[in-house]
Amino acid sequence: MFEVNTSLIRFWEKEFDIIKPKKNKKGNRLFTRRDIDNFHLIFHLVKERGLTLKGAQKKLKDNKDETTHNFEIIKSLKEIKDQLLEIKDSL
């Protein structure tokens, strides 16, 4: 889904306390929808916006609601852009 190594996912799990997957008896991680949404947010901050891990942690600690809201707006705008590009291509 994120096209990153699983080791990075495990690393982010340790670094960010907002990701708390359950583990089954075998030790496999079972991510909730909330965990996946949080991964998207962290991915956006670190990979797309270029923040350091410390910077992303601080941003989430200081203003998680505002950061999440801004991320949702950006995600919606990207979806609208993709739809408009599809319409343009079909014309």
End-to-end CA distance of the chain: 31
Helix/strand/coil for 16: coil
CATH of 6-90, one of 1.10.540, 1.10.1660, 1.10.150, 1.10.3470: 1.10.1660
Per-residue pLDDT tens digits of the chain, which is 91 residues long: 778 888 998 899 999 988 888 888 998 889 899 999 999 999 999 999 999 999 999 999 898 889 989 999 998 999 999 999 999 999 8
Provide the pLDDT for residue 76.
93
Interior angle at CA 36, CA 35 and CA 40, nearest 5: 115
Site of tokens 């996946």: 36
d(CA 1, CA 19): 16
The pTM of this model reads: 0.75
Provide the pLDDT for residue 4.
86
Provide the pLDDT for residue 88.
94
d(CA 53, CA 45): 9
